[in-house]
Amino acid sequence: MYLFEYQAKALMREWGIPVLEGAVATSEQRALDAARELGEGPWAVKAQTHAGGRAKGRVAGKEDLSGIEFNDTVLEVGRTAASMLGARLVTPQTMRKGETINAVYIEPEIKSSVQLFVAILIDGECGHPVCLASVSGGSQVERDVFDDPKSLVRVNLGARDKIDAAPGLEIASQLGLRATVKDGFAQLIQQLHALFMACDLSLIEINPLAIRDNDSLVALDARLAVDDNALFRQPRLAALASRMEVSKAEGLAAKHGFNFIQLDGDIGTFSSGAGLAMATLDVISHLGGRPANFLDVPPVLEVSRVKEAFLLVLSDPKLRCLLVNVFGAGIMRCDTIADGLLLAHLEEPVTVPLVMRLAGTNAPLAVSRLERSGLSIQFVSDLASGAAAAVDRGAAPAPLTTPESITGRLTRWLFGSRAGPGS
């Protein structure tokens, strides 16, 4: 679960991490009042979305407006907020339609000659928190690290609940920070690590971290993600989950016990198991198609839950085709899938073509029932042929991207494929 910037900074402030005073606004009037309360300008007006790359993004229909704007007057702050609120911000990390801006965050503009990139995340190999840092903070960090991979410092923080100043001092030395900054930087790393561990975070990303002329540090931006599996012991953070980030469809899916994420394509997917669902999306995308959703129906006996899953996917008005990819072994039987689809059809007639791969328990029985239903179904024997058939029935291909933090992309590139940013 990602926190919005204003939520992340409020939490960081509680842990003694230096951030600027700011105010969140959901209306033009509140933005005007916030600017006056914060003192003399200039001010930064920042769209509150979960996707990064806001400075490089553009507000839909207002190509001269980015997701982070700097204004010199109170009236300009109000006009900027009014233009952002309710609009959609499209960035390199969003899907084509972007994310709706329901709030803006206003804080003083701070200029600094030295800006760092700092992040803490879990190392997937060792399972320990690691710290990534670079002196190339800001919007160009990915390109700078790509040009000079050694500029990204990586230090393992170990499995300890608390760390001393040593890791921070090591990072500061590798970054070449001046001596007057090192102690403050080491303390900051300790504070970030304490917050990371206490709040069950999966990511802390500060970009940029400014070093001011008086050698003080201040986080100008913040991106925090909480481990979803730990939310049961973080009720306060769980309560911060914004209702605006959860669609009606995703809420309905959670109610019935399956996992659903809405995407912006036109090929619906229905799979039994998260791994199979991801593979289905990968193959569709590889063939040039655009998945409309991620849907993982766990092994269930209740036909009613399967019916609700089908109704949810089929309710998408953009749908051109539905690909069902099921390996029904054990509890999840193929005839359960077939019966759920038929019940859904009785409630809301299916009008889009169906491509179905059914393998496993009671597959012949399921196919027999569906063949007698009168539905337009193309049965296939494997995922590759099913995805190809679905793509043929879909609309023209277009790229599909998903939000990802700078940290995630840098880590994946440097310690994974080494393909380079944007490749």
Structure confidence at residue 415 (pLDDT):
52
- pLDDT tens digit sequence for 108-131: 998 888 999 999 999 888 889 999
Domains and CATH numbers, the chain: 21-108 (3.30.1490.20), 114-238 (3.30.470.20), 245-393 (3.40.50.261)
Structure confidence at residue 300 (pLDDT):
67
pLDDT bucket at 275, cuts 50 / 70 / 90 = confident
Which residue in the block uniquely carries the two structure tokens 């012991």? 233
**Bigger pLDDT: 200 or 241?**
200
Taking a C-beta distance cutoff of 8 angstroms, is the pair 85, 102 a contact? yes
- pLDDT tens digit sequence for 25-34: 999 999 999 9
pLDDT bucket at 148, cuts 50 / 70 / 90 = confident
pLDDT bucket at 411, cuts 50 / 70 / 90 = low
The average pLDDT across 143-148 equals 78
Output the pTM of the full model: 0.64
With a pLDDT cut of 90, the percent of the chain lying above it is 58
Query: What's the whole-number average pLDDT of the chain?
Result: 86
pLDDT higher than threshold 50 for residue 395:
yes
Structure confidence at residue 316 (pLDDT):
86
